[in-house]
Amino acid sequence: MQKHGNKYGTHRVIEPKGVLPQPANKIDNNMDEIYDNEILIDVKTLNIDSASFTDISNRANHDPEQIKKIMFEIVEKQGKHRNPWTGSGGMLLGVVEKIGDALKGKIDLKEGDKIATLVSLSLTPLRIDEILEIRPDVDQVDIKGKAILFESGIYAKIPTDMPEKLALSALDVAGAPAQTAKLCKPGDTVFIIGAGGKSGMLCCYEAKKRVGVTGKVIGMCHSPKSTERLIKLGFCDHVFSGNATNPVETMQVVSDLTNGKMADVTINNVNIPDTEMTSVLCTREDGTVYFFSMATSFTKAALGAEGVGADVNMIIGNGYTKGHAEITLQELRENAELRKVFEELYA
């Protein structure tokens, strides 16, 4: 008979006791037996959070063998893949291997279903047996291994109308375009930092759809290549290249593009630190800043806004909002050019 587990997975926490799996220093990643409310997954691909993969790659001097070493060490020490320097994880693609007795018949999954977990690897019990391939251009790592999804964990079945890796790359950042859909309204000016990346392009498309012809979408990219790609997609009214860690310079560009009114909504998608004040200064009084970036420092954002007397509403980048998987996959279905770019870059 299977042991009964806690809905949120606290039965897997080794230390410190009394905390949830995400902030725990070590969790139990023994996959020989599962609890009655767990789902055992045969893992195929890890989609590492962009901020986390960038950090690990830099620490490894972009050496694939060193990246493997760091990843193995993280999981061996913690029982999960939570980057100790960024605190972030990612998500995974796999096949349902076993469903706990208490969940059978109560969820829309069966053994053999392909799913993407929509909860962070920073709280997911994980065992890596072998790393097969590292794809640094898309932050994905193919492995042989097992993982556990808790009863409270959310997931998406892999759709049959698109390649698995394409769906995985989009679902990894599903929270960003879905939150964009909630935050943007007709007539708004929306400024998107990191607009040429994976989450950025999805946000640009969703923002333009929501603000309509009376609104304006401004995209900021890091490289000339991503800038050119975003211009070709045609989702933005203005696109420019810049350094998001230079707040004053960026603020001047946005001020010029908005006749000094600044953005109603600013969405930060970058994977590097020190972009908090760029987001704050480019947003109008009582406007909204959505920090989707896992490289965001709450301290820098809060004290920085206070320091310049900026009264803006700041939203932490919760990667989950209702319907986020459906909204994101639908974007790829309804826009052929966006899907083409994602297939070329990520599938």
Average of per-residue pLDDT across 125-146: 96
Q: How many CA atoms lie within 13 A of 66 on its CB side?
A: 10
**The amino acid at 266:** T
Query: Could you give the angle at which helices 164-171 and 324-334 cross, rounded to 10 degrees?
Result: 130
Q: Which pLDDT band holds residue 116 (cuts at 50, 70, 90)?
A: very high
The pLDDT, as a whole number, for residue 169 is: 87
Q: Is the dihedral of CA 108, 113, 114, 116 positive or negative?
A: positive
Give residue 318's pLDDT band: very low, low, confident or very high (50, 70, 90).
Answer: confident
Could you give the CA distance from residue 119 to residue 153 in angstroms, rounded to a whole number? 6
- pLDDT tens digits, 182-214: 999 999 999 999 999 999 999 999 999 999 999
- Rounded-to-integer distance, Cα 21 and Cα 233, Å: 40
For residue range 61-114, what is the model confidence (pLDDT) as tens digits? 999 999 999 999 999 999 999 999 999 999 999 999 999 999 998 999 999 999
pLDDT exceeding 70 applies to what percent of the chain? 100
What Cα–Cα distance (Å) separates residue 145 from each residue in 92, 159, 171, 242?
Answer: 11, 22, 21, 40
Single out the residue of 19, 13, 18, 294 nearest to residue 148, CA to CA.
13
Q: Render pLDDT for 144-156 as a digit per residue (tens, 0 to 9).
A: 999 999 999 999 9
What mean pLDDT value characterizes the chain? 96
* Stretch 230-255: mean pLDDT: 98
Give the Cα separation of 217 and 215 in Å (integer).
7
| pTM for the model | 0.86
Helix/strand number for the chain, H first, E second: 11, 14
Domains of the chain, CATH where assigned? 10-158 (no CATH), 175-346 (3.40.50.720)
> What's the start-to-end Cα distance of the chain, in Å?
42
Q: How many Cβ atoms from other residues are within 10 Å of residue 2's Cβ?
A: 13
Q: Is the pLDDT of residue 170 over 80?
A: yes
**Biggest alpha carbon–alpha carbon distance for the chain:** 68
The per-residue pLDDT for 346 is 85
Q: How far apart are alpha carbons 310 and 302 in whole angstroms?
A: 10
Range 260-276 average pLDDT: 96
Residue 207: closest CA among 253, 132, 157, 266: 266
Spatial distance between the Cα atoms of 140 and 53, rounded to a whole number of angstroms: 9
